[in-house]
Structure 1
């Protein structure tokens, strides 16, 4: 399937070209960031006591309460029956009566960098994530130069100088002019500190296999788009850890996967994805539920997870919504993002709409079948693709997952403990438990009865730093003011 409403990645030949592509935007972005860092900083840590609260166990589906949850530093230090709680006199008290405590949410597919267009990084999105309870993200498309900025952001976050989600993992995209060059790029990415290697649909199968081997040798997971010439189950069996946007799942769940891929044989780069895109309507019309169930059972026996980004599959809803400037969230977008979104909408054709209407119900069926088979499903959004507002979109994604057959509790799990387990950090994140990081969201209503209640945020704890509702609103207002105060074009645009 094509990357909906998006930018095509560049086919760079070597790592040095990647670095050049981002050095100037990174310098600009860092100067801009330092100018607003104080306005976007976090409160100091204090001992926090959330009293009389119902704790949501996202794994077992239990609602436990009333409990008093005590946070000291960046950790949860006790969870006890409220009648047994010993609260320090100096603690900040948060009234949890009638409220529900969940782990901080994680968006498993975001873009903080704009490599192909040389636009500045998307640091404008940080307060939007935090205000929506998104305390962690997986950054999906960096390069060697961008890792420098990721590390600066991480340090600023740890120091309380930047109101931002925790960047739980940041990857480097690898292409390669040959299998050997692709393997060389993997080594350079590992040396730069990448947490994983990202692959794209355009890759020839030979390059993809070389990347897998090189990444395995450096103990780096490979994630991203299953290449358009590789069957989904082959990719999963070979060790690609995640598949984004249901890439190659549509083909695998059709009755014609073999002839579709045969038509792509020998094609590479843009020619490969162009052929795939030309086949899309044929692929969708050949969807076969029985085949899909068989594929899902086989997929569940591997370690591959799916990040379906249903907010993209539902792209026609955005296109039918009229001018995006009427959305109250429009005020949070940087000027170059507004221009990109409007251009994307103006380029949206009747053929695009027809394909979206075909794609959307099938995407939901595939997610439902895979979930029933036990395939790990994780919430991700591809923010800030046109129409996909950072932070806000993760709630839309969870709601769409519920529409696709997950229960509200399972949708929460897909955005909390499932990502933590996938990333290998479940011992410190992903659930409300003693000893884990105090990345928490306090809700005014029960999200396990209605996933829409996950939007009813009363407070967020970000590494133990308390942001009450008024603080979150102030963060959003400051984000809007920052965009309104910018004059002229954005550098790098």
Structure 2
């Protein structure tokens, strides 16, 4: 590793590990507060933030003494709950170490976690102060569990992280048409028995995961055991519905009789209903009622489906919002291109049902509205960094999707904040902008209730009670540009060597 790269890494580390308590008290002066747990807007308020909590919300008073508190000018601005991405797959150094791609595996990342730091800043730039990671490689999970503790302790800057453990069986265990290959023996890492499914949940508890993600290739017996053991261990569950159609698979009634806490996609419900021109409105209503009756909440991930459809139709990754491509690191950019991007492959286009992707997106939009009308709690999730969906800004894109299917702006704001707090961290408050709540907040330059696009006009964030203006975030991101240029150089060098 060259000396300049090492020096840069050390400088980034010093900034990343600066104590979050450097300025413990803040007064946000004369701001409009949108608590989001009601429809009200509290105009002209002073907000005191101390030790990571909202200590006081009072009528604005220019004569009020603030002592040693740092003043944040809120005039003409709006204070709202911090956004949460309820479905992400966070890029980390651990994922790079686990990669099998020769252009990625073994990249020199330095020793100061500058890569992870850049990703965390990308979330904050969009006002995302909480992220749920729905499973990754073993190395990636270990990296996130470490990073979660660093952020919670104030030694690193970033959103509140919720790290999920994915539990899945081998695909062959639920094959509708067995190909003659034997099903691998059950083990906790890929369980096909209830006993191993229970052990997998218990190990996740011991390791300190925040929630469980059941995946679709668990057979009926194991799926039920994982969901029930997770509940006994105090975990929430958010993931995929089980497969249908094989001898050991679930059926629709079974899945709703043994529900998870949350469903990770409305797309999952496509397998539980007819999709296409023959989809009757009554079928959507029947499905929405089944979800509501089961007590499930849902993360629609409409922007995920929209982006996949765009790649299928246009044969390229759709353009990301202006100014956001610069936040996408070189490793992720590589994974967005062929052949790494499976959505651009011919095999993806040739799979059965590919011609119905657009119908699936339409189905999900209509179903999402039906779920909302039945008061099913919705959360905002993106599946980032799926190709075309950068970390952070994709949350804002999903908020627009929910607004466009008919949710009022305040309901979109709740889905992006309060509902996710209640799902992943129910013991730590509501997530609303109220006295006593944790200070994970976004300061906006315009009213998001007047136009949901204003949710993207971020003036700054309070992340774990620490204030970062958008200028601070942009500056710190720019400090990492040399680091990312070095990564790009390494990748290009490897690609050139592979082509020679």
Q: TM-score range by the shorter chain?
A: 0.7 to 0.9
Equivalent positions of 1:69-218 (< 5 A) are 69-83=47-61, 86-112=64-90, 114=95, 117=99, 123=116, 124-142=118-136, 146-175=140-169, 176-179=190-193, 180-218=195-233
Q: Distance in 2 between matches of 1:216 and 1:461?
A: 32
Unmatched runs of 5 consecutive residues or more in structure 1: 1-31, 255-282
Q: 1:46 aligns with which of 10, 24, 48?
A: 24
| Paired residues for 1:291-306 under 5 Å | 291-306=283-298
**Structure 2 gap segments, 5+ residues each:** 1-7, 106-112, 170-189, 245-249, 496-500
Partner of 1:473: 474
Of the three residues 333, 345, 348, the one matched with 1:347 is: 345
Q: Aligned partners of 2:52, 2:136: CA distance in 1, in Å?
A: 28
Does the 8 Å CA contact 1:368/1:406 hold for their aligned counterparts?
yes
Any residues of structure 2 matched to 1:5-24 within 5 Å, and which?
Answer: none
Asked if 1 retains the 8 angstrom alpha-carbon contact of 2:461 and 2:467, the reply is yes
RMSD: 3.0
- For residues 33 and 217 of structure 1, the distance between their equivalents in structure 2, rounded to whole angstroms, comes to 43
Which region of structure 1 is more displaced relative to structure 2, 126-135 or 208-217? 208-217
TM-score normalised according to structure 1 size: 0.80
Q: Is residue 56–residue 62 contact of structure 1 (8 Å, CA) maintained in 2?
A: yes
Q: How many Å apart are 1:358 and its aligned residue? A: 1.9
Distance in 1 (CA, whole Å) between partners of 2:328 and 2:158 is: 16
Q: Specify whether residues 358 and 33 from structure 1 end up closer, same or farther in structure 2 by C-alpha distance, changes over 3 A only.
A: farther
Q: Contact (CA 8 Å) 1:306, 1:375: kept in 2 or not? A: yes
Deviations 1:258-316, CA, capped at 9 Å, x for gaps: xxxxxxxxxxxxxxxxxxxxxxxxx3344221121122123212221111111111023
> Quick one: distance in 1 between partners of 2:427 and 2:63?
26
CA distance in 1, matches of 2:491, 2:144: 24
Q: 1:96/1:74 Cα in 2 relative to 1: closer, same or farther (>3 Å)?
A: same
Deviation string 1:344-383 (CA, Å, 9 cap, x unpaired) is 2642666687433222222110101111111111100111
The change in CA–CA distance for 1:400 and 1:127 in structure 2 (over 3 A counts) is same
What's the counterpart of residue 420 of structure 1? 421
Q: 1:323 to 1:63 in 2, by over 3 A?
A: same
In the superposition, relative to structure 1, how do residues 143 and 385 fare at CA in structure 2: closer, same or farther (>3 Å)? Answer: closer
SS in 2 for 1:284: coil
Farther-moved stretch of structure 1 (162-171 vs 101-110): 162-171
Q: Deviations over 1:316-359 (max 9, x none)?
A: 33563956688753333333321211122642666687433222
CA distance in 1, matches of 2:349, 2:315: 15
Question: Are residues 485 and 163 of structure 1, via their aligned partners in 2, closer, same or farther at CA, if it must alter by over 3 Å?
Answer: farther
Question: Which residue is equivalent to 2:263?
Answer: 243
Distance in 2 between residues matched to 1:401 and 1:251, nearest whole Å: 22
Matched-pair contact (CA < 8 Å) for 2:86–2:299:
yes
Residues 373 and 88 (structure 1), Cα distance of their counterparts in 2 relative to 1, 3 Å cut = same
Indicate if the aligned counterparts of 2:240 and 2:264 stay in contact, CA closer than 8 A: yes
User: Under a length normalisation based on structure 2, what TM-score does the superposition of the two structures give?
Assistant: 0.79
Relative to 1, partners in 2 of residues 1:435 and 1:177: Cα closer, same or farther, differing over 3 Å?
Answer: closer
How far apart, CA to CA, are the structure 2 residues paired with 1:479 and 1:364? 38
Mark the CA change 1:81 to 1:409 in structure 2 (over 3 Å): closer, same or farther: same
8 Å Cα contact 1:333/1:483 also seen in 2: no
